[in-house]
Chain A
Amino acid sequence: MQLQVAADWVEAPLKAFVDEARAEVAVLMHPSGQVLGQFGFVRSVDVVTACALAAAIHASSGELGRLVEGKPFAGMHYAGPTKQIFLAPVEIADGTLLLLTVFDEESSLGLVQLFFKEFAARVAKVAPEFKSAEAALAVDFEGELNKNLALMFGRG
């Protein structure tokens, strides 16, 4: 399985996270759903779908957190019969990114949370350089989304 990134700074932290946490799938994205890097998906349409769903879950759970706790929840974990997902925000200088992780019994929630912390620290260090160079949320969202997908999957 190949790691695909839309920006160079994503590669090292995401690769380390996937290797250490033994994640099946890991997708780094903007809260808008714009993908920055991914591991585990083969088709670009699956990445787009996963990002859209993850962004929606994050928005919903964030509002639910504000409602019941006065602030957004820090992360979300769902355990299915064989696969589990962990979705958590990565705080960077200019805002927030999201990491969606899918893992199975080869890993555990504890391991994923442990290596997520390290991943978030690494991304926080390198992301500001990226942010100053390129807007996180482009006005032309669809164009930016397609550009990132083309960079990752080699299609225009």
Chain B
Amino acid sequence: MSSQFRDILGALIRHRGVKGCMVVGEGDGLIVDSTLQIGVNGTTFAALTASLFRKARRAAEAAGFGDAVFLELEAEQGRVCAVGKSGLVLVIVAESRVNVGLVRVEMLKATAGL
């Protein structure tokens, strides 16, 4: 079944190093739509990343910085990036070699479609 987010996800997954991208409900942590390579545990990833983004948003608000715009988590062997709007979180999981700058621009542009 094709959703309204297919184009957004299709554009992001084509970036070199991106292993998966998904639109997740910020409140419930459930996947709305996703494009994942084999080996990415989407359900687990969605639940944890949505929780992380929710807490980052609250931390930004508590610090008086306004809304969280872009979240990047750098791990030993990869990166997780997230942007959110209208109760949805757009998330990508990528290898370390990914061009974060480019992906960031694409993700921020894509928030208009969320």
Contact = CB atoms under 8 A, between A and B. Distances in A.
Nearest to A77: B28
A108 B43 contact: no
A111 B48 contact: yes
A124 interface: no
B50 interface: yes
Interface string B36-69: 0000000110111011001000000000000000
Interface residues of B, number: 14
A108 B28 contact: yes
Interface string B7-35: 00000000000000000110111100000
Most buried by A among B43, B44, B47: B47
Contacts of B50: 108, 110
B61 to A, nearest CB: 14
Interface string A90-110: 000000000000000101111
A114 interface: yes
A113 B50 CA distance: 14
Interface in A98-156: 105, 107-111, 113-114
Nearest to B27: A108
Contacts of B44: 114
Contact of A114 (B24, B27, B48): B48
9 contacts: A107-B51, A108-B27, A108-B47, A109-B28, A110-B28, A110-B30, A110-B50, A113-B43, A114-B29
Interface of B: 24-25, 27-30, 43-44, 46-48, 50-51, 54
Given A110-B47, A111-B29, A114-B44, 13 more contacts: A108-B27, A108-B28, A108-B29, A108-B50, A108-B51, A110-B24, A110-B28, A110-B30, A110-B43, A110-B50, A111-B48, A113-B43, A114-B29
